[in-house]
Amino acid sequence: MGIQDIIEGKRQWRAHMARVKALPRDYQIVYKEIQRYLFKVGPIDLLDGSLLSGILDFFEEGAASGKGVLELIGDDVAAFCDDLIKDSRTFADIYQESIRGEPGTAEK
Amino acid sequence: MDGLTEMLKGTLEGCVLEIIGSEETYGYAITRRLNELGFADVVEGTVYTILLRLEKNGLVQVTKRPSGLGPPRKFYALNDAGREELATFWAKWEYITSRIDKLKEGGR
Amino acid sequence: MSFWDTITGNDLTREWKAFEARAEALPADYRAAWEEIKGHLFPYGDFTGRNLMPILDGALGLLEETAVDGQSIHEVLGDDIGGFCAALAGGEGARSYRDRWREQLNRNVARKLGRPGG
């Protein structure tokens, strides 16, 4: 289910956050706000870890090219996030399916 | 032209497929190509979310290559499924534009 | 079988213990918020617990990350923790909450980057 992996991967998580800290200030701010938003929305893509590390890769590339973060992703950060997880179901979706007992039917 | 974002939304993925289809390329180059084409509002972040989806849906082949400065770059090429998707996109595009042209000309 | 039995009676115990260990490390006001969040999420109907774990994990992750930044818990969760939790679980009002989170995200970014319009 991945949670153990997340917990046992605490060290990996620290390494991840250390990479965040190494970003320019504007990138750090935006990254953290994005992460916070994604934790709330809960796309299941979060579990395999590639969603967040992918954003980080992308931000590192952008920072290396000398661009500002909003220049890279646009002013509407929320729209960027929603685009990122457009196809992803959320934990809430799955939960709602489970209480309805109709797996797979709770998608929009 | 300004204010294209909404209208472009559904077609941008097809544009990206087309660009990747003509040669293996990476996010920044794709964005620049779209900007040069006249879609000035398209930022790298938008292209990133599209590439992520293409990758998730198994339409592209991704290769990481070292770049001059900064972290390695992800290069994208179409696979068979991607080429099929691109053909479908153009078929849909033909259909929509032909209908809309007809509407504009006042035909039935 | 109650949720608690389910939790303590099977393989979820280990995950659960790990959650609590993480919660222990939070500042007091955050820990209190965690207790409140659990309280709000538990009565969510009849479930096996398993499907709720990722939601709790996300909530805990949020608390951990914001605690590190020294943000006030109020700023993170707002006035209505019950509503917040319902939204986490995709219950009633989830859509309007998501809109609120969206606005909050853009507002925070604008404010923290020191740009107008925040």
Q: How far apart (Å, rounded) are the C-alpha atoms in residues C111 and A30?
A: 11
Q: What integer pLDDT is reported at residue C118 of this predicted model?
A: 39
CA nearest to A35 within chain C:
C62
Query: Can you give the pLDDT of all 118 residues of chain C as single tens digits?
Result: 344 444 444 556 677 788 888 999 999 999 999 998 888 887 664 445 667 788 888 889 889 888 887 778 888 888 788 888 888 888 777 888 889 999 999 999 999 998 554 3
The CATH number for B18's domain is 1.10.10.10
What's the CATH number where A27 sits? 1.10.1900.10
d(CA A40, CA C51): 16
The one-letter amino acid at A83: D
C19-33 pLDDT per residue, tens: 888 999 999 999 999
| Residue C103 located in a structural domain | yes
Question: What does the alpha-carbon distance between residue C106 and residue A77 come to, in Å, rounded to a whole number?
Answer: 6
With an 8 Å CB cutoff and a minimum of 3 pairs, decide whether chains B and A touch: yes
| Residue C14 placed within a domain | yes
Which residue of A3, A17, A85 is the best one to mutate when testing the C interface, meaning the one whose CB has the most C CBs within 10 A? A3
Measured in degrees and rounded to the nearest 5, phi and psi for residue B73 equal: -105, 145
State the nearest Cα–Cα gap between A50 and chain C, in angstroms.
16
Whether C94 maps to a domain, the answer reads: yes
Count of domains for chain A: 1
- Check CB contact under 8 Å for A83 and B43: no
Residue C117 in domain:
no
Q: Which of A2-6, A96-100, C9-13, C72-76 has the highest mean pLDDT?
A: C72-76
Beta bridge partners of residue C71, listed in sequence order: none
Test A73 with B45 for CB contact under 8 angstroms: yes
How many Cβ atoms sit within 10 Å of the Cβ of residue C23? 19
Residues of A in contact with C69 (CB under 8 A): 32
What burial class does residue A39 get, using C-beta atoms within 10 Å of its C-beta: 0-12 exposed, 13-18 middle, 19+ buried? buried
A58 and B CB contact within 8 Å: yes
Asked if B65 and B76 count as a contact pair (C-beta separation under 8 A), the reply is: no
CB contact under 8 A, A58 and B28: no
Total domains in chain B come to: 1
Contact C53 A3 (CB under 8 A): yes
The set of chains that have 3 or more CB pairs under 8 A with C is: A
C-alpha distance from residue C47 to each of A101, C81, C117 (Å): 10, 21, 43
Highest averaged pLDDT of the listed ranges A4-8, A50-54, A98-102, B4-8: A50-54
Q: C47 or A74, which is more confident? A: A74
Q: Report if residue C118 sits inside a domain.
A: no
Q: Are C56 and C88 in contact (CB under 8 A)?
A: no
Smallest Cα distance from B70 to chain A, Å: 5
In a domain, C84, yes or no: yes
- Chain A adjacent subunits, 3+ CB pairs under 8 A: B, C
Write the DSSP symbol of residue C50.
G
Better-predicted residue by pLDDT, C88 or A59? A59
Report the alpha-carbon distance of residue B80 to residue B86 in Å, rounded. 10
Confidence of residue A106 (pLDDT cuts 50, 70, 90): very low
Pick from A33, A34, A41: CB nearest C98: A41
Shortest Cα distance, chain A CAs vs residue C6, angstroms = 15
pLDDT for residue A5: 56
What whole-number distance in Å separates Cα of residue C77 and Cα of residue C82?
Answer: 10
Taking CA–CA distances from A67, the nearest residue in chain B reads B44
In angstroms, the CA C51 to CA C57 distance is: 11
A73: nearest CA in chain B?
B45
Which range of residues forms the domain containing residue B89? 5-105
Within-domain flag for A105? no
C114 phi and psi, to 5 degrees?
Answer: 65, 35
Residues of the domain holding C84:
3-112
Burial B89-103 (b: 16+ CB within 10 A, else e): beeeeeeeeeeeeee
A61 lies in which domain range?
A: 3-100
Q: Is B53 on the interface with A (CB under 8 A)?
A: yes
Q: Say how many domains are in chain C.
A: 1
Provide the 3-class DSSP secondary structure of residue B60.
Answer: strand
Contact list, B44 vs chain A (CB under 8 Å):
58, 62, 67, 72-73
Average pLDDT over chain B reads 92
Q: Please provide residue B76's backbone torsions phi and psi, each rounded to the nearest 5 degrees.
A: -120, 135
For position C20, which CATH number holds?
Answer: 1.10.1900.10
Q: What is the pLDDT of residues B24-73, one digit of tens each?
A: 999 999 999 999 999 988 999 999 999 999 999 999 999 998 877 778 88
Contact check, Cβ <8 Å, B69/A64: yes
CA atoms within 13 A on the CB side of A11: 1
Beta pairing, strands B73-78 & B25-26: antiparallel
